[in-house]
Amino acid sequence: MLHKLGDLTVVSLAAAICATLLVYGIGDTYPIIAVIVGLLLGLVFPIYAAGSAVSPTGRIRLWSIAVGIAVTISTTILVGFVINQTTDGFQTSTWVLFLGGLTIVSALIAIIRRLFSQGGHDAPIVFRVPVRLVLSLAVTFILVIVGFSVSQYSIDHPPRAGFTQLWILPADKNDHHKISLGIRSYELNVTSYRLELTLDGKSLQEWPDIVLSPTETWETQVEAPLVFGNAGKIEARLYPLDNSDTRIWHTTWTILPY
């Protein structure tokens, strides 16, 4: 009689091991393994146990697998709705305990039904799954792994647009006419700039060719002329060094005291 229960024992033990691995955070170190373990715990084990519970003779057929899928999905939806109403809401540990418990409870029901089926006489367990079903599950499994890998790569390597920082600051707190100009490139490639410094719209100084690599910084100090009578607006204008692009990329300014 005990040999009839070997498959359910293995499934129950495997579900307990998978639940333990997920609870102790295997996903933090091995995310791909965590996905595989999660698929086993969330789909394969509960579906097999539920399918066995509705097929007490141990003869797994397509209809029993379909029932196992329906039981697993419907139970998961109902329990998920209940969990969502609690204070803590969805937690990894909660889902792991539920899926592990679903597998073990279904396996126990299947064991009880097998023990009391066919008048206590042993019957050979025949596990038959259509080849097309196996192939479909395998393709689905592969697609899930590939999709997870792609999404994980996208998280680790988010697309971004390049940008450039430009600043104009006092170089000396005791001398407001000494200013500091700076550029930091966060562009994706080596970039050339033209920088112009103006006072009330009139050009003071120009740097015609500043070349910066990504994350490289250029900085200089300038002695601005004294302004008599009124405060002067000193402005830095940054242009891309490209004949086809004449627009100002960035501009920043400050007021010089008179």
pLDDT tens track for 198-251: 888 888 889 988 999 988 999 998 887 765 445 578 888 888 886 555 566 667
pLDDT tens track for 58-100: 566 677 777 778 877 878 777 777 776 666 666 777 778 888 8
Query: 32 and 66 in contact (C-beta within 8 Å)?
Result: no
- Report whether pLDDT(174) > 70: yes
- For 115, the token pair is 């023990």
Burial class for 183, CB neighbours closer than 10 Å (0-12, 13-18, 19+):
buried
pLDDT tens track for 37-61: 888 888 888 888 888 887 766 566 6
Give the pTM.
0.43
pLDDT at position 101: 85
Q: Give which of 247, 235, 250 is closest to 162, Cα–Cα.
A: 250
DSSP state of 117: G
71: amino acid identity, one letter: V
Q: Using the CB atoms, write b or e for 113-149: b if 16+ within 10 Å.
A: bbeeeeeeeeeebeeeeeeeeeeeeeeebeeeeeebe
